[in-house]
Copies of this chain bind each other. A is one copy, B any other.
C-alpha cells in the first residue's frame, strides 16, 4: 500500500519547538508571592485565570496581554491597595520575559536538520507578533523554515484562510503541535494531517475534554520530537 505524499510540515512554536509555558508559570509564581499577603495561592490563580480569559478578546495571547491581566488582577484582588512600586515589578517581570533565553525542546534541531530539503517547513504560531519573532530569532531555528506565520488565533477558519493563501493542500500538509485545541483538532477538521506531541503542562484554556476527543479517530501522538522522524517514515512519503 502506498503512503500519502507530504509536501509541507508546519510546526507550532511554543511548547512544541521550545519551552514557553514554564516561563509564564514562573512569572505566575512570582506574582502569587507578591499577593500572598492578601489571598491564598488558589484564589489568586483562579482570579488571574478568569481575568486572562476575559481579556483575550481585548488583548490576545502573549506577554503584553498577560502582563495587563496580572496588573488588573493585582488591583482587583487588593481592592486598589497594591502600590505603584509593586505594579512596576510586574512590568519589570514582563521585560524579563520578553528577553528571556529560548530553550529548545529535545530533538527539535536534529529533526529540522533531517527534514530540511525533504519538504517545505513552516511555523504556524499564535500570539503576539513581536514576541514570536523575537523567540524565533533567539532560538537559532529561523534558518530551517521556509515560512513563519504568526496568527491571532488557531481556529478552523484561521487554518483554512492560511492554507488557501499559501496554496497548501490539506491532504499534503501535516501540523505538529502540543495543543489538541489549537494545533490538532482544527487541522483535522479542515482535512489536514496532525501529530500531537504532548507537553508536560497545558494552559487550562487550551484543554479539551474526553467527550470532544471521542468524535475523532485516535489522535496520532509521539512522546517527543526525537520520535517524529520514524513516525513520519512509517506514515508518509516525502
Instruction: Please choose the segment from A2-10, A19-27, A88-96, A187-195 that sits at the chain B interface, where 4 or more of its residues have CB less than 8 A away.
Output: A88-96
Check if A156 is an interface residue, CB within 8 A of chain B. no
Question: Within A73-91, which residues are at the interface with B (CB < 8 Å)?
Answer: 74-76, 78-85, 87-88, 91
Residues of A within 8 A of B (CB): 58-60, 64-65, 67-68, 71-72, 74-76, 78-85, 87-88, 91, 94-95, 98-99, 128-130, 133, 147, 150-152, 165
> Chain B residues with Cβ under 8 A from A151's Cβ?
129
Would A60 and B129 count as touching, CB distance under 8 A? yes
Rounded to whole angstroms, the CA-CA distance of A64 and B165 in the bound complex is 28
Contacts of A64 in B (CB 8 A): 59, 64-65, 68
- 7 CB contacts below 8 A, A to B, read A59-B64, A64-B64, A72-B91, A80-B84, A84-B87, A87-B87, A130-B152
Complex CA gap A128/B152 in Å reads: 10
CB distance from A152 to the nearest CB of B (A): 5
Pairs A-B, 10 closest by C-beta atoms = A80-B84, A60-B130, A64-B64, A75-B84, A80-B85, A129-B129, A82-B84, A58-B98, A75-B88, A130-B152
